[in-house]
Structure 1
């Protein structure tokens, strides 16, 4: 979603600030691994195991919301790649 009034860096900065300053202490212990989606303009947020579900819920409340998402307790929301296993002969 492009937001003409915000750069991607500003969305990320504001989202991280809201999470660290106002949300993290309330949600982190019981929601490890779930997705949090926050409206950077209001501070409202939704949490769900599925990021799309959380996004739809918050947009249902405020369709013009400017959103930032993260995975609680993880430095990244998604992982790319895989892993190899070695067969023993």
Structure 2
């Protein structure tokens, strides 16, 4: 029997963080004016972002468009940043039901 669990892509965390923050810097003023204290999930590769009231909401929106991607999350206007890797989990019947989060501060 083969393992059919989707594999997360291997990434260079330093490069991922650097490029994500560079993209955030490009949209920071707009986000801080329009959505202070909310959360944003960033994908620098597509130059897209998703905003949510919570980190989970922003990530869920991003994962709807790109289920296999890894996103960088920032609380808008906060000096603290964090990234998140998520893997969609299956329930006992193989139905996708939730996300597990691995946080990196």
TM-score (normalizing by structure 1): 0.73
- Once the two structures are TM-superposed, the CA of residue 25 in structure 1 deviates from its matched residue by 2.4
Matches of 1:68 and 1:28 in 2, distance apart?
Answer: 17
- Once the two structures are TM-superposed, the CA of residue 27 in structure 1 deviates from its matched residue by 1.5
Q: Which runs of 4+ in 1 moved over 6 A?
A: none
Structure with the higher strand share, 1 or 2: 2
1:3 paired residue among 9, 13, 19: 9
User: How do residues 7-86 of structure 1 correspond to structure 2 at under 5 angstroms?
Assistant: 7-21=12-26, 23-77=27-81
Q: Residue deviations 1:55-88, cap 9 Å, x none?
A: 011111111223111111111148xxxxxxxxxx
In the alignment, structure 2 segments of 5+ residues that lack a partner are: 1-7, 83-105
SS at 1:26 equivalent: helix
Q: Residue deviations 1:14-69, cap 9 Å, x none?
A: 11000102x11221112111111111211111111111111011111111223111
In the alignment, structure 1 segments of 5+ residues that lack a partner are: 79-89
Larger Rg computed on CA atoms: 1
Matches of 1:15 and 1:77 in 2, distance apart?
Answer: 11
TM-score (normalizing by structure 2): 0.63
